[in-house]
Structure 1
Amino acid sequence: MINIQVLRIPEEIPNEVWHSLLALVSAERRQQASRFVHQADAYRSVLGETLARVTLGKWTGARPGDLVFIRNTYGKPSLISHPDLPFNVSHSGDWVAVISGGHAPLGVDVEKISPIDMTIAERFFSPLESRSLAAEPAEQQLETFYRLWTLKESYIKAIGMGLSMPLDSFSMLRGMDGLWYCPEAPTYQFLSQPLDEGHMLAATGSAAMELPTQPDVITIEELSSFIL
C-alpha cells in the first residue's frame, strides 16, 4: 500500500507547537531553520521533515524522533534502520507532501504555480513535450507546464538521480485515458493533480503497486497530536 500525505502550511504556528516541532527534527534541520530570513521557509523545511518522521514512525513502529536519515550521492533520503522502506518528501509554497509505502522507489513533487516564460520549456523539456505544450490552448499552458515539470521531478526523485539526469532525456505524455505515462519508463506509473489553484502535485511509483487517486490531507492539529 502506498500513501501520499499532504499538509497545508499555516500562516502562523503557536510557539508551543513550533518548539515541539524543532525538538523532533534533526540538529541540522534546526540549524537550517534558524538561518532562514522568512519564517515561512523555516515552516516548510521543518514541517516536511516532521511529516516524514510521523509517517515513517507509523510504518516502522519507531518513535519519530529516533529515526535517522541518510542521503545518497544525489541527495535522496533513506532511513538507516529501514533502508528498503521507500519514501520521498517535497515542499513548496503552502504545502508539504510525503509519499511512502510499498517496496519500490517512490517520488513526489509539489510546486507553487507562478507565471513563467514558456520558452523555458525548450531548455528543459523533450522536443515531444515542448510540441505538446505549444499545442495546448493558451489558457491551459501554464497548468500543463507545471504538470510536466512536477511529473518529471517526481520521476527523477524516485530513481534517486536528481538533476544529474537531464530533464529533456525522457518525456511525460498524457494518454487517451487521461493518465500520464513515460515511454522511457514503462515500469512506472504517475499521478498528477492540483492541490489548489496555486499548487501542483505529482507522484511516481512502480506499476506493480497502485498509486492512490487522492492524497490524504493532514492538518497541523493532527500532526501536532502525534508529538505533543
Structure 2
Amino acid sequence: MTVVFGTKGADGRALAHPLLERGARLLWGWERPLLGRSPRGKPFFLGVPDRWLSLSHSRGYALCALSDDGPVGVDIEVVRPHRPGVPDFALTREEAACFDGTWEDFTRLWTLKESWCKMTDLPLYPPRKAAVPKDCPQRSYEGADWRAAICCRGKPPEEIRWLGPEGWDSSLRES
C-alpha cells in the first residue's frame, strides 16, 4: 500500500521530516525512523529494505509518500510563472505535445517528471531527457495554488491524506 501524507504551514521544508515521522507512526507504528541517503540524495529507511519513502516541499506545503509496494516518488510545487523559455527547456516532445500553455499545466507535468526521477533515483537534469514512462503507475493532484504528483510501483492513492501541524512538538506525540 502507498499513502501520501500532506500538511501546510509557514515553512514546508521545516514540516517535511516531522510529517515523515508522523506518517510512519500512523501507517506502521514506527517511532523516529532512521534514514540514509543514496549517492544522489534519495532518502531511504536504514535497515528496512521493504519500505520506501519520498519527501517534497514547496513554500508552505510538505508531502511525504510512504510505501510497502516498492519505490515511490512524490513532488509538490506551488504554481507560479516562470521565464517564457522554461517549458521548451524542461519538457520532452511528448510532454510538450499535451502541454496546454498554462503554468498550472506546466507545474502538473513538472511534478510528474520530478516524482518519476525521485522514484527511480535518476537525475532530473537535463529535464528534457527525463521522461515518465506511460506504464508507470502515477497520479496527479491539485489545489487552488499547487500541483502534486506521485509515481509508484503499486496503485497510486486516490487522494492526499492531509494532517494538521497544530500541536506538533519535537517528539510528534499524537494527542
Note whether the superposition's TM-score is higher than 0.5: yes
Instruction: Name the structure 1 match of 2:88.
Output: 122
Give the superposed CA RMSD: 2.1
Q: Aligned residue pairs: how many?
A: 173
Instruction: Name the structure 1 match of 2:144.
Output: 197
Instruction: Name the structure 1 match of 2:58.
Output: 92
Please say which structure displays the higher CA radius of gyration. Answer: 1
Deviation at 1:223, TM superposition (A): 4.8
CA–CA separation in structure 1 for the residues paired with 2:67 and 2:131:
26
Normalising by structure 2, report the TM-score: 0.87
Query: Are the equivalent residues in 2 in contact too, given 1:158–1:205 (CA < 8 A)?
Result: yes
Which of 214, 223, 228 matches 2:159? 214
Query: Are the equivalent residues in 2 in contact too, given 1:190–1:205 (CA < 8 A)?
Result: yes
Q: Check 1:160–1:203 CA distance in 2 against 1; reply closer, same or farther (3 A cut).
A: same
Normalising by structure 1, report the TM-score: 0.69
SS of aligned partner of 2:77: strand
CA–CA separation in structure 2 for the residues paired with 1:222 and 1:88:
24
- Which one has a larger percent helix, Structure 1 or Structure 2? 1
Structure 1: gaps (5+ residues): 12-39, 173-181
Which amino acid letter does the alignment assign opposite residue 45 of structure 1? R
CA–CA separation in structure 1 for the residues paired with 2:120 and 2:145:
27
Structure 2: gaps (5+ residues): none
Instruction: Name the structure 1 match of 2:5.
Output: 5
Identity of aligned residues (%): 22
Instruction: Name the structure 2 match of 1:168.
Output: 128
Instruction: Name the structure 1 match of 2:104.
Output: 143
Query: Are the equivalent residues in 2 in contact too, given 1:93–1:199 (CA < 8 A)?
Result: no
Query: Are the equivalent residues in 2 in contact too, given 1:100–1:106 (CA < 8 A)?
Result: yes
